[in-house]
Chain A
Amino acid sequence: MAQIFDRSSNALARMSLVLTGILVIALGVTLNELQRSPWVTRQGQRPDQPVPFSHRHHVQGLGLQCQYCHTSVEKSSYAGIPPTKTCMNCHAQIWTNADLLAPVRHSWATGESIPWIKVHDLPDYVYFNHSVHVNKGIGCASCHGRVDLMPLMYAQNTLQMEWCLNCHRNPGKNLRPTSEIYNMAWKAPSEEKPVWCSVTDAKTGVPTAQSVSCVTDDPTRNGATVASLEMPTAPGAGTGQAGMGEAGGGGMVMPASMMYTKFTSQKALGDFLIDQYHIRPPNQLSSCETCHR
């Protein structure tokens, strides 16, 4: 009887074994990439909106404040989509005949809503609250990116759970003074561009922003003669526990206006603000019930 298989079959057999292995791995890698790909997350995609609204034009060009349209961002879980009226406030006077704005005028005339398409669309079982983030020193840009540079709106981030946790596990790296929340161009402090913050001793019951005030140009130059080395570094007997009583920087004697601490790194600023704003510790921020109910 002759051979069943010819010489090459040995090589083939072994090759196929190796190939199967490679294929399995490849499949795994692909799926892993796929679940994070824009195809799934919609990251960076610009859906066709009824009106090609340009944030860049309105924010950077005209300098509109975020809250002018997104009115409830500080008060409610929902930042708010402006009613047609908001558009008409201006567009009753300007660009009254622009074809682009036809849907707006139609809506205004008929009283039917403008059917926008949601760009930042969380799953329905995720309970995100704008107000607490904005009040605790997370700037718009931290999640939405440089909206002021977006001609058409798109999602800067994946908005996936891992992305949320990334910050909830280490909030410090994204914290900024509440006075800078709407500042799209805010940069983390550095040796070149330090940040000076002062604390009026925070009593409980007052909104977060009021206890800390920060400036980006050296306050000592205009009069205040206090050297920052006299400052207690990052004042903070704060428990880091929201509202658990005594806030950081309590026992300071000098008038608040004069006591500025200089920060030259986001790390330092983050730790300082975590104390001042009573940011909850990571184990609480990454606990399930924070987002799922």
Chain B
Amino acid sequence: MATRDLTTVDPRVDPATGELRVLAPGQSFKSVTAKIADIVLTPHTSLGWLMLFSIGGAGATMLLVAVTWLFLKGVGIWAITQPVAWGFAIINFVWWIGIGHAGTLISAILLLFKQGWRNSINRFAEAMTIFAVVCAGLFPLIHVGRPWLAYWLFPYPNTMNVWPQFRSPLLWDVFAVSTYATISVVFWYVGLVPDFGTMRDRTKSKFGQYIYGMLSLGWRGNVKHWMRYETASLLLAGLATPLVLSVHTVISFDFAVAILPGWHTTIFPPYFVAGAVYSGFAMVLTLAIPLRKVYKLEGLVTDRHIDNMGKVMLATGGIVAYGYGMEVFMSWYSASHWEFFMMWNRMFGPIGWSYWMLIACNIAIPLTTLWVRKWRTNLAFMFVMSLIVNTGMWFERFVIVVTSLYRDFLPSSWGTYRATKWDYMTYAGTFGLFLSLFLLFIRFVPMIPMHEIKMMLPAAKVKSEAVEAGD
């Protein structure tokens, strides 16, 4: 019944299912191709793009300055000290990596679950992943005291006959993150190959033809190729799924394996992963909502997507909330003074405000409002919400790293932590880097996978009798 009414009132709803439509009606192979490819192929670059890009560039430059100064002077220009020997660098690292997770999740896990609606957003979600990992990967490299020796973390034959120490979670990070970056890039590129083919065939410029031609590796849509291609994509998805889970698990080991109260927690892996997806989807929203508006993609990225992403955030946010809850519960239930004091200090210690900050941003605000579909499909609301959640997730890492460290076992060595301008500059700088990379992406690469959209069009269906015909 309800669906009937909806059809009358709401054009966005698919009368067949009563669900919001994944694609707006009236798309054809040609129109889809044109719509998506022409965003890239248009020779004229919009002023808005240029402005944004210069902002991004400025940010990236600031990052460069900050890092140069860092290399000249040493990590001492940051606020890190005794006992808080890790600070912004590690916080940002975990934060960015977390954001990356949504991309892989959308492109891999939702693919396995045959969630058709993912097709419209997985391309730029993956791009976001890669750029986020780039920003994240920067930090472990620059945060070490002697960055010019960072390559010692890799096992390679040397004249010292010494090797990395494989019991250290940091070393696990090296492998987890490098694998994650590689697989993400490969997955992304594989997805791009056929579309590069389309671009090759649509672009007028000789140069464009060469570049896209090479990138497409000579793709020509042979159905056998398509079959292998589909298998490979599925396999990659199947591999990326355990990978994405493992990456944040390993990162949570950086803390969970240590003996520090507040770090030494078995619940970290699951709630780190959930938190990662949480923040990741928030970031996808932050990007999708403006993109959709600017490039008039409402037809391809519909309210259905926004709505679903809202639901995912609701779910993951719930898991995160459960994680916080368990931490508090265990600090009481474990009857361990260390745990108890840690939790007390987290809540009411000198920088307890940061804990309440994260509770507000990650639980209080989102988990009370995201239940309502009306709000879930309200763009402005969702945009703001996505920002709030990412702030909250940053504070989660801040709380874990700093408030656990600054008051640990020996009261005599308690200290405090005050970020310096260099901390802020480096952090802000990575936004610039991320922004510029992302802008380059939407300018030169089709931001929505055309062949996957085409598959979803009604015209793509082969009338069944055709196959049986003649038997």
Q: Do chains A and B touch in the complex (CB under 8 A)?
A: yes
Residues of B in contact (CB 8 Å), total 13
Bound-state Cα–Cα, A35 to B160, Å:
10
Per a CB cutoff under 8 Å, which of B159, B200, B218 touches A36? B159
Contact B213 A4 (CB under 8 A): yes
Q: Of residues A4, A35, A158, A165, which shows the largest number of chain B Cβ atoms within 10 Å of its Cβ? A: A4
Per a CB cutoff under 8 Å, which of A5, A13, A35 touches B159? A35
Contact B209 A4 (CB under 8 A): yes
Across the interface, which residues of A come within 8 angstroms of B210, CB to CB? 4-5
Tell whether A161 is near chain B: CB-to-CB under 8 Å: yes
B259 smallest CB distance to A (angstroms)? 23
Per a CB cutoff under 8 Å, which of B157, B159, B214 touches A158? B159
Tell whether A222 is near chain B: CB-to-CB under 8 Å: no
Tell whether B158 is near chain A: CB-to-CB under 8 Å: yes
Across the interface, which residues of B come within 8 angstroms of A35, CB to CB? 158-159
Bound-state Cα–Cα, A162 to B160, Å:
5
Tell whether B8 is near chain A: CB-to-CB under 8 Å: no
Tell whether A32 is near chain B: CB-to-CB under 8 Å: yes
Bound-state Cα–Cα, A165 to B163, Å:
14
Contact A161 B213 (CB under 8 A): no
Bound-state Cα–Cα, A32 to B156, Å:
9
B364 smallest CB distance to A (angstroms)? 51
Bound-state Cα–Cα, A4 to B214, Å:
10
Tell whether B31 is near chain A: CB-to-CB under 8 Å: no
A160 smallest CB distance to B (angstroms)? 4
Across the interface, which residues of B come within 8 angstroms of A36, CB to CB? 159
Per a CB cutoff under 8 Å, which of A4, A10, A13, A162 touches B161? A162
Bound-state Cα–Cα, A10 to B214, Å:
10
Nearest A residue to B161 by beta-carbon distance? Answer: A162
Bound-state Cα–Cα, A158 to B158, Å:
13
Encode contact with B along A27-57: 1 for CB under 8 Å, 0 otherwise: 0000010011000000000000000000000
A10 smallest CB distance to B (angstroms)? 8
Across the interface, which residues of B come within 8 angstroms of A161, CB to CB? 159-162
Bound-state Cα–Cα, A165 to B160, Å:
9
Bound-state Cα–Cα, A208 to B200, Å:
81
How many chain A residues sit at the interface, stated as a range, is 10 to 19
Nearest B residue to A166 by beta-carbon distance? Answer: B161
Across the interface, which residues of B come within 8 angstroms of A4, CB to CB? 200, 209-210, 213
Encode contact with B along A94-124: 1 for CB under 8 Å, 0 otherwise: 0000000000000000000000000000000
Across the interface, which residues of A come within 8 angstroms of B158, CB to CB? 35, 162
Across the interface, which residues of B come within 8 angstroms of A162, CB to CB? 158-161
Across the interface, which residues of B come within 8 angstroms of A165, CB to CB? 161
**Interface of chain B residues 151 through 201 with chain A (CB within 8 A):** 157-162, 200
Across the interface, which residues of A come within 8 angstroms of B200, CB to CB? 4
Bound-state Cα–Cα, A35 to B151, Å:
15
B123 smallest CB distance to A (angstroms)? 24
Across the interface, which residues of B come within 8 angstroms of A10, CB to CB? 218
Nearest A residue to B159 by beta-carbon distance? Answer: A160
Encode contact with A along B265-303: 1 for CB under 8 Å, 0 otherwise: 000000000000000000000000000000000000000
Across the interface, which residues of B come within 8 angstroms of A5, CB to CB? 210, 213, 218
Encode contact with A along B306-320: 1 for CB under 8 Å, 0 otherwise: 000000000000000
Q: Of residues B157, B159, B214, B217, which shows the largest number of chain A Cβ atoms within 10 Å of its Cβ? A: B159
Across the interface, which residues of A come within 8 angstroms of B159, CB to CB? 35-36, 158, 160-162
Bound-state Cα–Cα, A4 to B207, Å:
10
Nearest A residue to B157 by beta-carbon distance? Answer: A32
A92 smallest CB distance to B (angstroms)? 45
Bound-state Cα–Cα, A108 to B57, Å:
66
A206 smallest CB distance to B (angstroms)? 35
B301 smallest CB distance to A (angstroms)? 32
Bound-state Cα–Cα, A167 to B200, Å:
62
Encode contact with B along A1-13: 1 for CB under 8 Å, 0 otherwise: 0001100001001
Across the interface, which residues of A come within 8 angstroms of B209, CB to CB? 4
Across the interface, which residues of A come within 8 angstroms of B157, CB to CB? 32
B193 smallest CB distance to A (angstroms)? 14
A287 smallest CB distance to B (angstroms)? 13
Q: B: which residues have CB within 8 A of A?
A: 157-162, 200, 209-210, 213-214, 217-218
Jot down 23 A-B pairs with beta carbons below 8 A, ordered by A.
A4-B209, A4-B210, A4-B213, A5-B210, A5-B213, A5-B218, A10-B218, A13-B218, A32-B157, A35-B158, A35-B159, A36-B159, A158-B159, A160-B159, A160-B160, A161-B159, A161-B160, A161-B161, A161-B162, A162-B158, A162-B160, A162-B161, A165-B161
Additional A-B contact list (10), CB under 8 Å, known A5-B213, A13-B218, A165-B161: A5-B218, A13-B214, A13-B217, A35-B158, A35-B159, A158-B159, A160-B159, A161-B160, A161-B161, A162-B160
